[in-house]
A and B are shown apart, each in its own frame.
Chain A
Amino acid sequence: KAGVTQTPRYLIKTRGQQVTLSCSPISGHRSVSWYQQTPGQGLQFLFEYFSETQRNKGNFPGRFSGRQFSNSRSEMNVSTLELGDSALYLCASSPNYGYTFGSGTRLTVV
């Protein structure tokens, strides 16, 4: 059974650019959540999708957005990148409880 797949693994972007990250959940998992992990702030919840609907959103600016497709794959987008957006972005999927995380996308903004 394939795990949660995130692409790309590493990304370097320039301030002001935008970026799109992709996540393919475990087959059959309809809930997909996104987290930002930084040394200073830890694991912070971005948003959660279930059956293409955003059920919950964390305390992040509107530059952070996401969506989920009918096949449960999800994307998150960050526009007008700032240096502080440099982080590990993790996607996790769950059938109910007990999330399985992907390996993450390490985004560096220069």
Chain B
Amino acid sequence: GQSLEQPSEVTAVEGAIVQINCTYQTSGFYGLSWYQQHDGGAPTFLSYNGLDGLEETGRFSSFLSRSDSYGYLLLQELQMKDSASYFCAVTSGSARQLTFGSGTQLTVLP
């Protein structure tokens, strides 16, 4: 089966940089995705890494190391609106099933 581990909570101040790590165990790995979910809302796709390396999208970057079964989401210039839950998810198997981690609650303080 698949398993993913990410920290349950992270706290940072406005303007800071925060990194949310994700380690995974899976077979038939295709890629690692990140999703953001605000309270009461639906998950929103942030990024996808299919190959090793860094993907940058504005203030958000995501990194993948397939050999280490590890990835992270980097959020720069934190804003209050970034307070949300962040989920890593692996795409795996012939049917490309998406399996989510348990989520990291990010709190941005003023």
Contacts and interface: CB of A to CB of B under 8 A. Distances in A.
Contact of B31 (A48, A97, A100, A101): A97
B50 A55 contact: no
Contacts of B31: 97
Interface size, B (range)? 20 to 34
B48 A42 contact: no
A99 B41 contact: no
Nearest to B45: A98
Contacts of A99: 33, 43, 45, 98
B91 interface: yes
Nearest to A103: B42
Contacts of B93: 56
Given A48-B95, A103-B42, A42 B33 contact: no
6 contacts: A43-B43, A90-B43, A97-B31, A97-B33, A101-B45, A103-B41
